[in-house]
Structure 1
């Protein structure tokens, strides 16, 4: 009976395992998205820093007001791009956090179901062992007792 309970749970366990595999795939996808967003942010920040260094070098040679205005506008655009990329990274990180939480819940569910199935299997085994022992006890009582002499 307990073994049949374990067998009845098999489709539920399979569905939970499938859901966990899907959650793992989503987690991997969002980890990749975070890495890409982080890389883009680093590239933008590095470009901004290089651009500022160029301004310092060029500025020491003297620049026109129009060049300075163009520099400031472009630097403002870079700052906007960096800010937007930070927001994008935060959004991707939030998705990753949600995916990690979903995977943890799916993993916990699968582990719980596996433990339940194992408990049912153990119970079935114990019941079968008791039945066998009872049968052996009954058989041994039915056998005629022979005296050692």
Structure 2
């Protein structure tokens, strides 16, 4: 019976690990969504800024202003590139968290299966013991009247 308790403890631990893995996946997905939202903001801002400057290029602009605009757009493009890297990193983190959850679920399922198999075995052993006792009692009852007749 103690081995059954050990399996129950193992299943409980595996459930907690699975729940923690599920939460880690949710957290990773949330971080990925936040990173994607920030990337969308940056690209939207870059497009909007470029659109505003594109409309002004028909007029005369000072070279210093154009230089600062190109410099700003270069920095914005660099920030977009960095944020693309962050999004890719978050994608990898989500994939790892998804794999960890899958492994935790598989472990939990296998432990549950072992526990159920062990419970079935114990129930069958108990049933056999009960049947043996019943058979022995029946045998004793059958043998007693014969002993008394002789």
TM-score normalized by the length of structure 1: 0.85
Where does the alignment leave 5 or more consecutive residues of structure 2 unmatched? 143-150
Query: Residue 104 of structure 1: which of 102, 105, 108 is its match?
Result: 102
Which of 30, 53, 60 lines up with 2:51 in the alignment? 53
Ranges in structure 1 where 5+ consecutive residues have no aligned partner: 145-149
In terms of mean alpha carbon deviation, does 71-80 or 100-109 score higher?
100-109
The structure 2 residue matched to 1:21, chosen from 9, 19, 22, is 19
Question: How far did 1:16 drift?
Answer: 2.0
Quote the residue 2:148 is aligned against.
none
Pairs within 5 Å for 1:69-148: 69-144=67-142
* Equivalent residue in structure 1 for 2:5, among 4, 7, 18: 7
Moved more, 110-119 or 131-140: 131-140
Structure 2 CA distance for aligned equivalents of residues 11 and 79 of structure 1? 54
Q: Distance in 2 between matches of 1:24 and 1:49?
A: 37
1:139 Cα deviation from its structure 2 partner: 3.6
* Range with bigger deviation, 128-137 or 19-28: 128-137
Task: Say whether residues 1:39 and 2:37 are aligned partners.
Answer: yes
Distance 1:55 1:33 in 2: 33
Of 62-71 and 25-34, deviating more is: 62-71
Q: Deviations over 1:9-42 (max 9, x none)?
A: 2222222222222222211111111010000001
Provide the aligned C-alpha RMSD in A.
Answer: 2.1
